[in-house]
Structures are given as C-alpha cells and as structure tokens.
C-alpha cells in the first residue's frame, strides 16, 4: 500500500514544540510496532499535501501513550466490587457544610471573606466550555445558545455580566484594590474555539475588558474502535475528540494559564460548566467558605432529589474523596439514610462546580500519571478501512477517551464540600428544545422564576399582566445580572411595592420607574 517513492519523505514542519523530524519509514515502523499501522493504509491515494498533513499528525501524536491510555481504561477492574459498604463512605462531617442549614450570619461571613479575596484581585474563574453539546444539537458552542430569555441573552453574556457585577460589588469593599478584576479563563476545544472567540469579539466581550479574558484550548485524543484501533475521519485525517473536561488541568499548564495566574498573583479559582444558566460565577459565598476551611479543593453539590436520581455523588471511596456515578451504586447504599438528619447518606449530587487553590492546580502534574481515562461509547463517523468510504454509523461503533474534572478529588489534601440550593444555583442545559428536562425551556423558566423570588423575598409583589404568556409556568420577569448578582440591592426599591409582568429590567433606574 505504501509507495516506495515516498519512503524518504521527511517532515520539515514539526509542531507543538517538537524539534526533530522523522522519515516516512520511521513513522511507518513506529505505528506498525504500536499496532496502528492501518492509519497509513490509504497513504498512496493522497495528494502530496494530504500526505504531509497525515504524516504531521502521526508525528505529533504520542501513539504509545494512546495505547497505554486505552490499555489502562479497558483493563482496570471495576471499582465497584462486591463490598460497597466497606468501599464507600459518606462525606466526613467536618468537610461538609450546607447553605440550606447555615445561619444568615454565617453565610454573610463567608460572603464577606469571598468578596474581600475578590477585592484583592486574588480570584479568577475557569470556564469549562470545550464540550461539543451533542445532546443539545446546536452547531454553535453551548455558551452562544439563546435560551429565549426576554432579553435574548446568551449563556456567555449572562455569565460575563455576573462577573462584571461582582467586580463592582467587590470594588465597594473597604480594602479593595484600585481596579478589581476577575480574570476569566475560558477553556475551549478544537471544535468550539473559533466560534467561541468570534462570539466574544462580535459582542465586544460583553462589556468586560478583553485583556482579562484568556482563551485556552484543551487537548484531544484519537477516537478508538472497541479493540483499540485509532479511527480516521478521512483518509488523511485522524478522528479525534476533546479529552474530556478533566483535560483542563493539562491544558492550564500547557497553554501557559498557570503562569498567567502566577503573574496576576491569583490564589483562588472558581471552575464551572458553561451550561448551568444559574451558575454564580466566582460565587463569593463559596469562595469565602473554602478559604475559611483552608481547602485546597472545593465542590459545590446539590441535594439528591431521590435515591434513584441518576446523578453522581461526592463521597469517600477507599477513604479518598471521589464522585461515584449513580450506575455504580447499589440500591441499598443509594437508599441509606443518615440517622442524624434524615437525609440520604450518599446525597451530595455532583454539579461540576469547583474551587481550587492555585497551589493545588500546580500540584496536579505530580499525580497526573495516576489519573484514569473514562470510556464514552459513541457513534463516530469514520473511515471504513474495508471500503475506503466514510460511514456515519447507526449504532455505537467506537469510543472516546475522557478525563473528568473531578478525577483529581482523590488527590486533594483538604477537600471541602458545600451544599447549595438547587433551585438557586443549578439548572443545566443538556438536551434539545422540547425534551422537557434540562433543556432551553427549563433553563429559561428557572432563571425567570428565580427573578420572581428575588422580588418576593424582599417583600415586593409580582403582578402577572394579562399579556404575559407565562411560557413554561414562569412569569416573564427578567432582571439583568448587572442590576443584581444574586438578589442583593433590590430591597430598598421593591419592598412593599408591586411590579407588573412582562418586564425586562436592564438598570436600577428602570426598576425604580417600574414599581408602583
């Protein structure tokens, strides 16, 4: 299959910091030795440019590492052996607190600690936005998605405005630095990067300063058949997929973000998923809680709705912090009740919303080799090596290898877990419109219902106008994050007053003139 005439070809433009160049023969031998020689099957059919493109990919890829990852991911014994009761343990009390149980003085104390850290420019934000959002079915990155709020704001805009507002709130702290900034580190992947960057540019960075938004890209790994063969999406292109949201740790390091954090003297990070429309970006309460606990890593969790709710839980596995997937837990363990409070013993639902010290992020490299990849079985459009055709399969035909952002939990030294109110903080956008759960309609509903609570909780009254269609059961009342980050600052205007829907509030002045 491989033309002799090409056997002396040398690659002159190595990427990614490699300095050497390899001959075609060397690459062929290396891939054959690794059991991946099929990747050159159609080499002779390619144009010179395609040949060089393919060889470059093969040179850049650490095929032996891919084989090792596959080997480890497929041969690891299932962590859920027979004796779950011995293997799993609920979270230790001293590592867990709940905003649902905390006094208002305590939450105020955490908030003040967090705001002070922000006011000292010690806090940054990591956004995980490298996913391809296949279930949602939009071709644009999820953050660009318009969940049909009255304002038509995208998820990116909502999050940017929360950062802007928080910077302004922190600026009012007594010891605030002159120019409070919360740098926003936005992780994209090959498929999401160009559209994400363009969207931010087109929208003028949503009012944030562009030098405080740092885009960085996570890695990719080849897609594999079930017997570990690397797949191709064409005769000259290896099929690759983002390496999971746990790719963030290597990407932070490799792309110079950790160095950027050091330069800015950032000490604490809040990391979250792009698809949670209720996310409290850089939440001062959570940051204050974790700082007070002297935690190196923190996780926000929500209380599981029911023992059989299909959500991973944060708990101890073999005495180390971990997230255990719903499918891994036996029914009796899932149903176990903590006699002290009547809550589920394993009820800390994981929402991938984390706190880290920069020191911890720097330490990840030291144990990265011990982290394991997870297998996601998918339908992957790929080259059929029998026919040379590219096939979109109807059945699952291969796997993507991913790391999860919580895979580092077992390696933390001082973990803190913080339970928050799901209604106020967690509503993920996962599924296509009309699916009824975790979809654009529920995202819209959950934000609007929260804004009604903002008004009502400070003694205001929401009057639903006749022309308000109350789509999905939520009055059409939207309050810009620039007006209120989490309900603060509204009481003096709305207490004892009414506001009529539909209404969209962009500024405090607008709110003042709308109440009666």
Closest approach of ligand UTP to the CB of residue 242, in Å: 3
User: Closer CB to ligand UTP, residue 215 or residue 385?
Assistant: 215
User: Closer CB to ligand UTP, residue 231 or residue 458?
Assistant: 231
Closest approach of ligand UTP to the CB of residue 422, in Å: 17
Instruction: Tokens 């031998």: give the residue.
Output: 29
> 309 to 348, contacts with ligand UTP by CB under 6 A?
none
Phi-psi sector, 361: left (phi>0), alpha (psi -120 to 50), beta:
alpha
Applying CB under 6 A, the site for ligand UTP has a residue count of: 20
User: Closer CB to ligand UTP, residue 218 or residue 450?
Assistant: 218
DSSP result, 14-54: --TT-----BHHHHHHHHHHTT-GGGGTTGGGS-HHHHHHH
Instruction: Take residue 156 and report the two structure tokens written for it.
Output: 């990116």
CB 448 within 8 A of CB 477: yes
Pick from 275, 407, 419, 441 the residue near ligand UTP by CB under 6 A. Answer: 275
Asked if residue 271 binds ligand UTP (CB under 6 A), the reply is no
**For strand 348-357 and strand 297-303, is the pairing parallel, antiparallel, or unpaired?**
antiparallel
CB 345 within 8 A of CB 336: yes
Asked if residue 497 binds ligand UTP (CB under 6 A), the reply is no
Asked if residue 132 binds ligand UTP (CB under 6 A), the reply is yes
Closest approach of ligand UTP to the CB of residue 160, in Å: 16
Decide: helix, strand or coil at residue 188: strand
Site string for ligand UTP, 406-445 (x = CB under 6 A): ------------------------x---------------
Asked if residue 448 binds ligand UTP (CB under 6 A), the reply is no
Q: What count of Cα atoms within 13 Å lies in the side-chain half-sphere of residue 194?
A: 3
Residue 502: is the preceding peptide bond cis (ω within 30°)?
yes
**For strand 390-391 and strand 461-464, is the pairing parallel, antiparallel, or unpaired?**
unpaired
Closest CA to 287 of 301, 303, 300: 300
Residue with CB nearest ligand UTP? 131
Pick from 7, 18, 71, 134 the residue near ligand UTP by CB under 6 A. Answer: 134
From the list 153-161, 242-250, 278-286, 389-397, the region that binds ligand UTP by CB under 6 A is 242-250
User: Closer CB to ligand UTP, residue 120 or residue 132?
Assistant: 132
Question: What is the DSSP code (8-state) at residue 152?
Answer: -
Instruction: Take residue 78 and report the two structure tokens written for it.
Output: 């299932």
Distance CA 75, CA 70 (A): 8
Asked if residue 129 binds ligand UTP (CB under 6 A), the reply is yes
Which runs of E-coded beta strand occur in 130-253? 184-188, 213-217, 220-222, 232-234, 237-238, 240-242
Closest CA to 157 of 116, 213, 114, 115: 213
> 158 to 187, contacts with ligand UTP by CB under 6 A?
187
Pick from 245, 350, 450, 476 the residue near ligand UTP by CB under 6 A. Answer: 245
CB 287 within 8 A of CB 114: yes
Site string for ligand UTP, 190-219 (x = CB under 6 A): ----------------------------x-
Pick from 36, 154, 189, 345 the residue near ligand UTP by CB under 6 A. Answer: 189
Q: What are phi and psi of 351, to 5 degrees?
A: -125, 15
Closest approach of ligand UTP to the CB of residue 279, in Å: 10
Q: What are phi and psi of 48, to 5 degrees?
A: -60, -40
Pick from 128, 163, 287, 336 the residue near ligand UTP by CB under 6 A. Answer: 128
Asked if residue 131 binds ligand UTP (CB under 6 A), the reply is yes
Asked if residue 300 binds ligand UTP (CB under 6 A), the reply is no
Pick from 69, 99, 158, 273 the residue near ligand UTP by CB under 6 A. Answer: 273
Instruction: Tokens 């003096």: give the residue.
Output: 492
User: Closer CB to ligand UTP, residue 142 or residue 193?
Assistant: 142
Q: Give contact residues for ligand UTP (rule: CB under 6 A).
A: 128-135, 142, 187, 189, 218, 242, 244-245, 247, 273-275, 430
């Amino acid at each position: 299959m491989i033309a002799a005439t090409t056997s002396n070809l040398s690659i002159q433009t190595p990427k990614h910091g490699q300095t050497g160049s390899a001959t075609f023969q060397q690459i062929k031998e290396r891939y054959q030795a690794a059991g991946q020689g099929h990747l050159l099957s159609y080499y002779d059919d390619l144009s010179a440019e395609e040949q060089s493109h393919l060889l470059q990919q093969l040179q850049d890829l650490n095929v032996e590492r891919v084989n090792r990852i596959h080997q480890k991911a497929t041969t690891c014994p299932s962590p859920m052996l027979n004796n779950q009761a011995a293997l799993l343990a609920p979270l230790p009390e001293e590592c867990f607190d709940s905003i649902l149980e905390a006094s208002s003085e305590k939450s105020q104390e955490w908030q003040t600690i967090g705001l002070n850290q922000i006011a000292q420019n010690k806090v940054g934000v990591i956004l995980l936005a490298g996913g391809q959002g296949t279930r949602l079915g939009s071709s644009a990155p999820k953050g660009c998605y318009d969940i049909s709020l009255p304002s038509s704001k995208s998820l990116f805009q909502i999050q940017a405005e929360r950062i802007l507002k928080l910077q302004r709130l922190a600026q009012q702290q007594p010891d605030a630095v002159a120019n409070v900034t919360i740098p926003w580190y936005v992780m994209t992947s090959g498929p999401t990067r160009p559209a994400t960057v363009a969207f931010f540019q087109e929208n003028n960075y949503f009012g944030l300063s562009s030098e405080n938004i740092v885009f960085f890209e996570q890695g990719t790994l080849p897609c594999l058949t079930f017997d570990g063969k690397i797949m191709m999406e064409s005769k000259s292109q290896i099929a690759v997929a983002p390496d999971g949201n746990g790719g963030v740790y290597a990407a932070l390091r490799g792309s110079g973000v950790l160095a950027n954090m050091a330069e800015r003297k950032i000490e604490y990070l809040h990391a979250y998923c792009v698809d949670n429309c209720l996310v409290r970006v850089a939440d001062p309460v959570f940051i204050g809680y974790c700082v007070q606990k002297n935690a190196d890593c923190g996780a926000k969790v929500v209380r599981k709705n029911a023992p059989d709710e299909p959500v991973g839980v944060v708990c101890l596995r073999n005495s180390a912090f971990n997230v255990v997937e719903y499918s891994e837990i036996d029914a009796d363990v899932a149903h176990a009740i903590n006699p002290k409070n009547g809550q589920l013993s394993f009820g800390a639902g994981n929402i991938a919303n984390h706190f880290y010290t920069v020191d911890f992020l720097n330490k990840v490299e030291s144990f990265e080799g011990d982290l394991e990849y997870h297998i996601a079985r998918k339908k992957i459009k790929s080259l059929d090596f029998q026919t040379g055709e590219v096939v979109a399969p109807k059945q699952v035909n291969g796997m993507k290898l991913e790391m999860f952002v919580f895979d580092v939990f077992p390696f933390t030294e001082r973990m803190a877990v913080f339970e928050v109110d799901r209604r106020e903080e967690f509503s993920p956008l996962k599924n296509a419109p009309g699916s009824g759960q975790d979809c654009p309609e529920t995202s819209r509903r959950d934000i609007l219902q929260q804004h009604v609570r903002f008004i009502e909780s400070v003694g205001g009254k929401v009057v639903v106008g006749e022309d308000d269609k109350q789509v999905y059961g939520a009055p059409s009342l939207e309050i810009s994050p620039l007006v209120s980050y989490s309900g603060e600052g509204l009481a003096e205007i709305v207490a004892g007053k009414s506001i009529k829907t539909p209404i969209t509030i962009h500024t405090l002045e607008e709110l003042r003139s709308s109440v009666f």
